[in-house]
Amino acid sequence: MQVISPDALRGTAKGKKIGVLTGGGDAQGMNAALRAVTRTSLVAGAQPYAIMEGYQGMIDGGDGISPMAWDDASGILNRGGTVIGTFRSKEFMTREGMLKAAANLVNEGIDRLVVIGGDGSLTGLQEFASQWSSLLDELLDHNRITTDQRQQFPRLIYAGMVGSIDNDLVGTDMTIGVDSALHRIQAAIDAIASTAASHQRSFVVEVMGRNCGYLAIAAAISGGCDYVLLPELPPEDGWEQAMCDQLQRSRMAGRKDSIVILAEGAKTRAGEPITAEHVRASIESILGEDARVTILGHVQRGGTPSAYDRWASTWLGYQAATFVLNSTGEQDGPVFGFHGEEIRQIPLLKAVEDTRSIPGLISAGQTDTVLSMRGMEFTDLIGIFQSLSNPNRTLCAPSDRRIAIMHAGALAPGMNTAVQTAVWEGISQGFTMLGIRDGFIGLVRGDMSELSWKDVDGWNQEGGAVLGTRRRKPTIEELYAISRSLEANKIDGLLVIGGWNAYEAVQLISQERSRYPGLQIPIVCVPAAIDNNTPGTGMSIGADTALNVVVDCIDKVKMSASASQRCFVIETMGRDCGYLALMGGLAGGAEQVYLPEKGITLNRLQRDIEWLKNSFDNHGRSFFLAVRNENANPNYTTRTLANIFDEEGQRRYDTRTLIIGHIQQGDAPTPADRLLATRLTDAAMGQLASQIKDDDKAIQCIGMCHNEIILTGISEAMKGTNRRHQRPKAPWWLHLTHILDCLNRESF
């Protein structure tokens, strides 16, 4: 979906008024969406109104419908919950409640509405919009509005965004709040795993989600859990024994802890709810061991939003606001949701009806229909979990075929997750799995050894790269040694997990392999780079973790500057790719971002300085943040920018710098990176297995586009890149600079 530039948007909605509300349960990221709607409206020349406490604010009127200014949306990106409140209003679902709400909107001159909430809130929006004409007719008949008002507001123009940690709306991949909820769940599981292993104890962890098992299956995979109970897959009778058998197999394979994930909406095939206490009691009764229960509850929907829930919600809010402000209302309002790295408009009524039909389909045993409605990622995750959670599961008889795994290039969080997935999946396919140490240097030396299921258990939650990785690429002269090493170790397939240097090395092998018999094997590349510049994919393993580190640093910098007048210049990694800087600035609320794709000019700096001085002198600004990619310009370094800002500021503020550095590579992988690593590597292993079976020696790249796995030849993947600057030619995220320019700097 096209992102309108600020220049094209500015002044297009003069005189229009738009209301925004948050309804139902709160979700992290709602404030980012609210901020985006507010500021987009102001830039367009419209007047935004915050409707307090959900639909109840429309009914109450008065202070319940409050005009919003630019600064009213300041300082809320990092706040959980919703600053304008939420309330499940029963009165709104009555005719009289809707009459009051319509009257209050009309009297304020508001005929445009953006609602951020779950299916209940969106259902209310659809019903309210469909009855708008009859509501105004009745209000006119009872002299509660004038004839002019009735004619001025013939229809309600509206749009929705899904704010729900359940991720249950059919038609969208990820709803506002889900990623943050997964962060909370994963942190709890990682902590529980250490205490469970210490006591060799079983834990039952109940997560939220209502009738959707996304949080449960995603947490089970990212947390490396043993068993999961989902609403979409009611277990067969006797499931308690099957569960305990699974836990026992994991223990026999060497695991010291057992964790069962229970989705709160899970039921038996008879429709009886499955409780955490029943699961615990079953483990104790069948296995005769101590088991404990942890019900995470509302901690999953509280606290600071993740980086994703900030930038994604901001993008959604921007698109929803521009739609509502430019729509004539002749078509029904949509729900805005994500499909991979793009935003789609989803018919609101159909989305809500499909979502509400799922419990009935589950009860009717229509599992295939339910899974198809949940989407490809959900189905993929279920299949992957069934494969990875069972150490004794072998899809094929053991063979003498051997697959080697290696890293290459810079470190990226999630590399260990990818190796664990590859080893477990490879063993289930009947292969012998080997790990190569220290990248191509280790491959030249033949430094590799066999990896078992137990060897890699627990790697999914570890940062770093246990196998080691090096940036060094092989030379043409070293290809002979690499070929001999692969031949000597009888390698039938090679999995390379890494970034740009890994792909360039594999392309060199592709170009020269005809001369070396040992190189004539199938090779699959899996993208892992915090720069998110890897060929053939929209997202690379490690980028989300690094981005969360950047945003966390921005939050801390803002807190440190809260009691003084400060100008900060923060430098991110990324080399010649500006993903971390742009998305970090968007999610962190930076006023300016300097990217290598856009460059830095003296004229641009002059405009920035004039705006900066004006905002401090005349508009009460006390803090300014610029985020600079490390290679944005070789001459305008981070220190140089800070010196220029300091000199031109003439003591209006103190200037500070922060170079975040290698901590961007050093954190434990986020849930998104664990899931991405698992999905990509699972697909890569499937591809290798297929090629080995068919004697297909092609070199392929696995990637993710629009939340779907894609397969690209190495040469084709490299064609889509700028080789000189080692980045994609047309990255999907670059046009989001328009949103940052629109929302983060007020026009004076």
Active site residues: 166
Packing angle, helices 579-588 and 307-326, rounded to 10: 70
Residues in the chain, how many?
A: 748
Three state DSSP letters for 478-535: HHHHHHHHHHHCCCCEEEEEECHHHHHHHHHHHHHHHHCHHHCCCEEEEEECCCCCCC
Q: What is the DSSP string of 263-299?
A: ETT-B-TTSPBPPHHHHHHHHHHHH-S-EEEEE-GGG
Element spanning 370, H or E: helix 367-374
**Amino acid of residue 728:** P
Distance separating alpha carbons of residues 677 and 497, to the nearest angstrom: 10
Q: How far apart are CA 469 and CA 465, in angstroms?
A: 7
**Is the distance from CB of 430 to CB of 401 less than 8 angstroms?**
yes
The DSSP annotation for 649-709 comes to HTTSSEEEEEE-GGGGTSSPPPHHHHHHHHHHHHHHHHHHHHHHHHT---EEEEEEETTEE
Q: Are 657 and 594 in contact (CB under 8 A)?
A: no
Rounded to whole angstroms, the Cα distance separating 379 from 373 reads: 10
C-beta separation of 165 from 216 below 8 A: no
Does residue 722 contact residue 728 with C-beta atoms inside 8 Å? yes
**Alpha helix stretches (DSSP H) within 61-162:** 95-108, 119-130, 132-141, 147-152
**Residue 203 identity (one-letter amino acid):** F
CA atoms of 700 and 368, how far apart (whole Å) = 31
| Type and span of the H or E element at 571 | strand 566-572
Residue type, 737: T
With beta carbons less than 8 A apart as the criterion, state whether 746 and 615 touch.
yes
